[in-house]
Structure 1
Amino acid sequence: MNAPERHPLIGTPVRRKEDYRFLTGNGQYTDDIVLAHQSYACFVRSPHAHARIRSIDTTEALAAPGVIAVLTGEDMAADKVGGLPCGWLIHSIDGTPMKEPPHPALAHGKARHVGDQVAVVIAETLQQARDAAEKVDVDYEPLPAVVAPASAAQSQTLVHDDVPDNTCYTWGHGDKAATDAAFARAAHVTTLEIVNNRLIPNAIEPRAVNASYQRQDDSYTVYVANQNPHVERLLMGAFVLGLPESRLRIIAPDVGGGFGSKIFLYPEDVALTWASKKIGRPVKWTADRSESFLTDAHGRDHVTRAELAIDADGHFLAMRVHTVANMGAYLSTFASSVPTILYATLLAGQYATPAIYAEVHAVFTNTAPVDAYRGAGRPEATYVVERLVETAARELGTDPAELRRKNFIREFPYATPVGLTYDTGDYEPCLARAQELADVAGFPARREASKQRGKLRGLGYSCYIEACGLAPSNVAGALGARAGLFEVGEIRVHPTGTVTVFTGSHSHGQGHETTFAQIVADRLGIALDAVEIVHGDTGRVPFGMGTYGSRSLAVGGSAIMKALDKVEAKAKKIAAHLLEASDVDIEFSDGVFRVAGTDRTKTFGEVALTAYVPHNYPLDKLEPGLNENAFYDPTNFTYPSGAYICEVEVDADTGESQVVRFTAVDDFGNVINPMIVEGQVHGGIGQGLGQAMLEQCVYDEDSGQLLTGSYMDYAMPRAGDLPDFTVETAKGTPCTHNPLGVKGCGEAGAIGSPPAFINALVDALSPLGVRDIQMPATPHRVWQAIQRAAQQSTTA
């Protein structure tokens, strides 16, 4: 019996399977989970950026209605609860390990940033917990605060008493001598002072935890809005609470966005898990938006001096970068790797620059911890490279696209001077196609039309590259990673021929339930609806490293493919037995096993049933069942790339800038679902333009108070701020080292768009004498730049 004719699912824009439950309000998020005897938590948070905690009086709070417990850092210390670990060890240039001060789940002795949790109140209802939290009397001794990363190392104020100069590490990467020598012979040097502004993640769903202790087996179940539940289990169980994995189950149900901010182990997760045993009841906390602003790990916050050396023919000779990176008050889970391994290794960009040297000085300040945020080091690196290249082109009087073309890497594989090997790529076609779609040839006429209306118009480029699917584990370990970087996939075929896939990757909006199902359904020749995807539960999934760094398809999908290889190999043996043939003569495609060169066949469903009803089965050679799992550890990163072109119009009288055109052409290798990829790029561009135009986290430099603590002060992009994007995926260069040939796509838009916008803006303002403008380029900041340029022109 032959299976009906099927159309390939790989490369098809299949609508997302999961959207029905989301659009009908049937998603299940952590805050939706209510357990028997549920209690509720409210954290008491420091109003000071830096203060000694003299005492905490909980008497009045404990007497408040409905209060079950009030717990403090002293209680946790008495129970010997450890501090939160950092997952990546960086060494300074002199070989000394980075400073890792304690990161208590409840502040003990000192509070080190506004919002630092100093106690937790647990009550029968959320309102009772909030009311009682107001009654906790904390006697603080306010201390001076240090906020600005550029001056933290020179400050007399120490965030941690045992960390001199507030310095976590001073790290170097590349060949300094070769770089300095190249600068000495350069015909031209371009220099920029760059600030990569601090950002506050704003997922639709705030962070949430619901922890439950089971006395009968001395175990814990923790529901949490998290991107990698197995890593959370590992860090909290092994390093903080001292629990074996079998006694700690982490479940991350539907997660409403993450962007990196939900990768980490947070203090609230630890405090509530520990507290659930203390009170013998489940305890739940969901951040309100103000808490999210104060305590979610922030992103970016670099201050950089960057230089590009160029010879007389316009070829890049070397790049030299010095960055001060803000760690905040504590080391978050992956904080130390972001401005180092994930940043400096990408400073080659798409260009054949022979020598590069980067030095990173990481400092502690009295601010919220800083960690990975969409792109995690790659946007910061791309911004440095692409602002330098565009500025150099302007200084040299060269077309910025042509300067890029002259310096593109053209032969692959290519080993960069900062430690990566690009396996494949082809940058010229992306740039040429972007220019065509953006109608660059027609730009002079549009600029003139804007001029006639009293407006300034500019066009800017950004040719980005990123490294996705951090790998391999042995190399990452040598660079300081304290965990593996593999992924796990399990394929469980049921007797009816339907399939359940267990993946260590996690979805928080990426559409994995559709994309992974497409891979499996296409490979096995079954209906898309016959594939179920399970993720986010350490009690059901064998293991996994979660979702971050655009790794889901390249690493998680590859693990699934390896498990499918094993399923197919075993299924061929079963089919061979049924067809009385050798398994080497069995072909499999479109859901049908066929003896090569004959019309003798068995369907996948028939083989699956035989595996579980083994009446006619080679029991002497095979075990019953059809269930396989696989681990996949990549041999290299994947390297998506692309060319972005932004066009802006500026009102010089008000400083208001409008993005009037935005074109993105990306090389993502093979594409599984074009519709989902396009949506990822759209979202990334929106976030990137948000950083470039509007968003900035600001602390008062004297008091350390967060000045942008709500949407009244922190400007998120709205629909009216963004144009329709022209987005296209190039035919591309498939990745050479994973079975799907895929590269990551989730962060590309956020990486390529900020420099494209700023380059366009500077192009518009350059006739007025503006050479640079820092992000975010708000109307006020643009207006100020115009006024300064006018004053300098008048003075000259």
Structure 2
Amino acid sequence: MSDYRPMGQFGIGQPIKRFEDVRLVRGEGRFHDDVNLSGQAHAVIVRSIHAHARMLAIDAARALRAPGVLAVFTGSDVAHLGTMKMLLHRKRPDGSPMFAPPHRGLTRERARYVGDPVAMVVAETLAQAEDAAEWVRIDYEPLPSVTSTAEAVGGPPVWDECPDNVSNVHEVGDRAATEAAFARAARVVRRRYVITRVHAQYMEARGAVGAWDPGEQRYTLHADVQYPHRVRTALATNILNVPEHQIRVIAGDVGGGFGAKGWQYPEHRLVLWAARRLGRPVKWRCERREAIPADEHARDNVTDAELALDADGRFLALRVRTLANVGAYVSSDRNLLATFSNVATLVGVYTFPAAHVQVTSVLTNTNSTAPYRGAGRPEATYVIERLIDDAARELGVDAVDLRRTNLVPASAMPYKTATGVTYDCGDFPAQMEAALKLGDVAGFPARREAARRRGRLRGLGIANAIERAAGPQPEFAEIRFAPSGSATVFMGTKNQGQGHETTFKQILHERLGLDPGDVRYIDGDTDRVAFGMGSMGSRSTVIGGTALWT
């Protein structure tokens, strides 16, 4: 590739201004709140104020008499709708099937976290719906709750059917070999690492507009989702039980997703069902104050990690036990994805003859967790790199030298790790040495001393991150040519601010020589784009771009 030259001023690698930014900076984007349909009503979700409570009664009489109110729906109204389904086959510690309770859209009988949807008020205007929601009276009987990951096992049951709060256990590696390595180790370093719960806090909070066309017998959902086609499939096959062609999902500009705007949230089914029930479109807009109670969260792990070393400081084995908080509901595989998809990279770029990882997913009275910004990758890197730093301190050796001693050499490639994945290539020692040089680590002691004299603290952090990204799912790209010579490109990925239009137009220019001004870009509409897996996991350019190139 040394003689590779980009094609023209818009080719791959050329420093161009993003094409989509012109309309966005002019305020001409079409985000969720810009979508308003003729005759639409407005919905407000009434959410639980308790982490765990029995709902003895719901009194909506006064709310129904409020001006403009069209309906107040509760869990019994939508009990006939389907739920998401698990495809993963996990086990509990005793070998029984995992316990994975799905959310039903509006909860009945018990609320299981602060923010659990209890009722939906629909009115002519948003202000009327908000006012009426204040008049929905719920008689709660508070119950014992558990929100701490560390206290989940054996804490107050989130579900009576699962008294120990253990949803499932996932294991990777060789337990027997790991135990043997620890038995002969010269030194063992043990630490507990707590990774807190986080929320995406995107600029644009979620929303959904549902419509029903009685003539075509079709639903249309406008929502800021990352994978519209998978949302359509989930709604059709699991929730509404209709053929996929009877549902259209449209996602316009999305003001940030980060994994948290995944597929099927309760509000999606609620606005669609209510639109058909009321005979008019229904719009729900998440308020900023509502986002944390309404959305899926992420992370929330407690990890006990152990490192076994020989007398020369070489790693013999890694043993990791993690409690992963999955919240009160496990509605789909998505809610477990971050707990297992990247645990194999806990060994990092280091030579480990043996390793064993056990992840116990626990239920608590909190929001469900799901992928967000790496889906388990940052957690894995954090644990192994912190553990190496702590081992260096405990052993009284330099943290850089400890890493040097244990990095997988380039000569070992392809290298199969103790957790079962294969690194096909990589020169990890050379990469770390290059980073040390660029960061002038040799000069760090002098800089730290200079900072100390100024009354400041200066630290040094080193992390050799490796991740598994761009999963091998298929992706869709289509180019349609007009007689005039212009073209329209349809992509199955979904832009959320990453600049997809620019990226894919550059690829198309490189491949076919088309001027970007002659190319129209379309994504996010299941009626216009035939298929798509969407955007997540650092895959859009790698997989979507390859589909477009080929």
TM-score above 0.5:
yes
Q: Is the contact between residue 182 and residue 318 of structure 1 (CA under 8 Å) also seen in structure 2? A: yes
Separation in structure 2 between the aligned mates of residue 96 and residue 544 of structure 1, nearest angstrom: 35
What do the CA deviations read for 1:7-35 (whole angstroms, capped 9, x no partner)?
57122232211111111111101110110
- Aligned partner of 1:30 in structure 2 is 32
Q: Specify whether residues 500 and 82 from structure 1 end up closer, same or farther in structure 2 by C-alpha distance, changes over 3 A only.
A: same
Q: Is the contact between residue 251 and residue 536 of structure 1 (CA under 8 Å) also seen in structure 2? A: yes
TM alignment of 1:594-613, pairs within 5 A: none
What do the CA deviations read for 1:735-788 (whole angstroms, capped 9, x no partner)?
xxxxxxxxxxxxxxxxxxxxxxxxxxxxxxxxxxxxxxxxxxxxxxxxxxxxxx
TM alignment of 1:426-445, pairs within 5 A: 426-445=427-446
Residue 84 in structure 1 maps to residue 84 in structure 2: yes
Separation in structure 1 between the aligned mates of residue 209 and residue 10 of structure 2, nearest angstrom: 42
Q: Specify whether residues 529 and 403 from structure 1 end up closer, same or farther in structure 2 by C-alpha distance, changes over 3 A only.
A: farther
Provide the secondary structure at the position in 1 that maps to 2:18.
coil
Q: Is the contact between residue 176 and residue 356 of structure 1 (CA under 8 Å) also seen in structure 2? A: yes
Offset of residue 494 of structure 1? 2.5
- Aligned partner of 2:104 in structure 1 is 104
Residue 553 in structure 1 maps to residue 521 in structure 2: no
Offset of residue 490 of structure 1? 1.6
Residue identity (%): 48
What do the CA deviations read for 1:25-82 (whole angstroms, capped 9, x no partner)?
11101110110101100111111111112221221111111111111111111xx112
Larger radius of gyration: 1
Q: 2:47 aligns with which of 21, 45, 48?
A: 45
Provide the secondary structure at the position in 2 that maps to 1:457.
coil
Q: Specify whether residues 264 and 87 from structure 1 end up closer, same or farther in structure 2 by C-alpha distance, changes over 3 A only.
A: farther
Offset of residue 551 of structure 1? 1.0
Q: Is the contact between residue 275 and residue 281 of structure 2 (CA under 8 Å) also seen in structure 1? A: yes
Whichever residue aligns with residue 448 of structure 1, its letter is E
Offset of residue 441 of structure 1? 2.0
Provide the secondary structure at the position in 2 that maps to 1:54.
strand
- Aligned partner of 1:263 in structure 2 is 262
- Aligned partner of 1:541 in structure 2 is 529
Whichever residue aligns with residue 189 of structure 1, its letter is V
Provide the secondary structure at the position in 1 that maps to 2:525.
coil
Offset of residue 280 of structure 1? 0.7
- Aligned partner of 2:507 in structure 1 is 519
- Aligned partner of 1:594 in structure 2 is none
Provide the secondary structure at the position in 2 that maps to 1:164.
coil
What do the CA deviations read for 1:615-636 (whole angstroms, capped 9, x no partner)?
xxxxxxxxxxxxxxxxxxxxxx
Q: Is the contact between residue 102 and residue 331 of structure 2 (CA under 8 Å) also seen in structure 1? A: no
Provide the secondary structure at the position in 2 that maps to 1:300.
strand
Offset of residue 204 of structure 1? 0.1
- Aligned partner of 2:66 in structure 1 is 64
Separation in structure 1 between the aligned mates of residue 247 and residue 177 of structure 2, nearest angstrom: 51
Q: Is the contact between residue 57 and residue 136 of structure 1 (CA under 8 Å) also seen in structure 2? A: yes
Separation in structure 2 between the aligned mates of residue 354 and residue 380 of structure 1, nearest angstrom: 22
Separation in structure 2 between the aligned mates of residue 162 and residue 446 of structure 1, nearest angstrom: 58
What do the CA deviations read for 1:180-222 (whole angstroms, capped 9, x no partner)?
1111122222211100111111000000101111111111110
Separation in structure 2 between the aligned mates of residue 318 and residue 138 of structure 1, nearest angstrom: 54
Provide the secondary structure at the position in 2 that maps to 1:53.
strand
Whichever residue aligns with residue 491 of structure 2, its letter is T
Whichever residue aligns with residue 103 of structure 1, its letter is H
Offset of residue 495 of structure 1? 2.3
Whichever residue aligns with residue 353 of structure 1, its letter is F
Q: Which moved more, 1:189-198 or 1:415-424?
A: 415-424
Provide the secondary structure at the position in 2 that maps to 1:338.
helix
What do the CA deviations read for 1:308-359 (whole angstroms, capped 9, x no partner)?
112222221110000001011111541212111x231111211121211011
Provide the secondary structure at the position in 2 that maps to 1:130.
helix
Q: 1:490 aligns with which of 466, 470, 478?
A: 478
Q: Specify whether residues 90 and 549 from structure 1 end up closer, same or farther in structure 2 by C-alpha distance, changes over 3 A only.
A: farther
Residue 190 in structure 1 maps to residue 212 in structure 2: no
- Aligned partner of 1:412 in structure 2 is 413
Q: Is the contact between residue 188 and residue 312 of structure 1 (CA under 8 Å) also seen in structure 2? A: yes
Offset of residue 95 of structure 1? 4.6
- Aligned partner of 1:154 in structure 2 is 154
What do the CA deviations read for 1:368-400 (whole angstroms, capped 9, x no partner)?
111111011111111111101122222333332
Whichever residue aligns with residue 140 of structure 1, its letter is Y
Separation in structure 2 between the aligned mates of residue 14 and residue 467 of structure 1, nearest angstrom: 29
Separation in structure 1 between the aligned mates of residue 85 and residue 397 of structure 2, nearest angstrom: 49
Q: Specify whether residues 6 and 147 from structure 1 end up closer, same or farther in structure 2 by C-alpha distance, changes over 3 A only.
A: closer
Offset of residue 92 of structure 1? 4.1
Q: Is the contact between residue 494 and residue 524 of structure 2 (CA under 8 Å) also seen in structure 1? A: yes
Q: Is the contact between residue 83 and residue 331 of structure 2 (CA under 8 Å) also seen in structure 1? A: no
- Aligned partner of 1:123 in structure 2 is 123
Q: Is the contact between residue 10 and residue 16 of structure 2 (CA under 8 Å) also seen in structure 1? A: no
Q: Is the contact between residue 101 and residue 331 of structure 2 (CA under 8 Å) also seen in structure 1? A: no
Separation in structure 1 between the aligned mates of residue 243 and residue 547 of structure 2, nearest angstrom: 26
Whichever residue aligns with residue 121 of structure 1, its letter is V
Separation in structure 2 between the aligned mates of residue 90 and residue 344 of structure 1, nearest angstrom: 15
Q: Is the contact between residue 10 and residue 506 of structure 2 (CA under 8 Å) also seen in structure 1? A: no
Separation in structure 1 between the aligned mates of residue 427 and residue 497 of structure 2, nearest angstrom: 30
Q: Is the contact between residue 154 and residue 163 of structure 2 (CA under 8 Å) also seen in structure 1? A: no
Separation in structure 1 between the aligned mates of residue 67 and residue 15 of structure 2, nearest angstrom: 55
Whichever residue aligns with residue 181 of structure 1, its letter is A
Q: 1:506 aligns with which of 494, 507, 513?
A: 494
- Aligned partner of 1:387 in structure 2 is 386
Separation in structure 2 between the aligned mates of residue 505 and residue 522 of structure 1, nearest angstrom: 19
- Aligned partner of 1:165 in structure 2 is 164
Please report the TM-score for the alignment, with normalisation by the length of structure 1: 0.66
Which structure 1 segments of 5+ residues have no match? 472-484, 563-796
Separation in structure 2 between the aligned mates of residue 187 and residue 21 of structure 1, nearest angstrom: 63
Q: Specify whether residues 137 and 360 from structure 1 end up closer, same or farther in structure 2 by C-alpha distance, changes over 3 A only.
A: same
Provide the secondary structure at the position in 2 that maps to 1:150.
coil
Separation in structure 2 between the aligned mates of residue 442 and residue 350 of structure 1, nearest angstrom: 25
TM alignment of 1:558-577, pairs within 5 A: 558-562=546-550
Separation in structure 1 between the aligned mates of residue 96 and residue 20 of structure 2, nearest angstrom: 48
Separation in structure 2 between the aligned mates of residue 303 and residue 26 of structure 1, nearest angstrom: 45
TM alignment of 1:153-552, pairs within 5 A: 153-155=153-155, 157-333=156-332, 334-340=334-340, 342-409=341-408, 410=410, 411-471=412-472, 485-552=473-540
Please report the TM-score for the alignment, with normalisation by the length of structure 2: 0.95
Provide the secondary structure at the position in 2 that maps to 1:442.
helix
Separation in structure 2 between the aligned mates of residue 67 and residue 257 of structure 1, nearest angstrom: 32
Q: Is the contact between residue 230 and residue 533 of structure 2 (CA under 8 Å) also seen in structure 1? A: yes
Separation in structure 1 between the aligned mates of residue 427 and residue 505 of structure 2, nearest angstrom: 30
Provide the secondary structure at the position in 1 that maps to 2:362.
strand
Q: Is the contact between residue 502 and residue 541 of structure 1 (CA under 8 Å) also seen in structure 2? A: yes
Which structure 2 segments of 5+ residues have no match? 1-6
Separation in structure 2 between the aligned mates of residue 27 and residue 182 of structure 1, nearest angstrom: 58
Q: Is the contact between residue 327 and residue 363 of structure 1 (CA under 8 Å) also seen in structure 2? A: yes
Separation in structure 1 between the aligned mates of residue 87 and residue 130 of structure 2, nearest angstrom: 33
Alignment size in residue pairs: 542
Offset of residue 361 of structure 1? 1.1
Q: Which moved more, 1:378-387 or 1:144-153?
A: 144-153
Aligned-residue CA RMSD in angstroms?
1.7
- Aligned partner of 1:140 in structure 2 is 140
Q: Is the contact between residue 93 and residue 171 of structure 1 (CA under 8 Å) also seen in structure 2? A: no
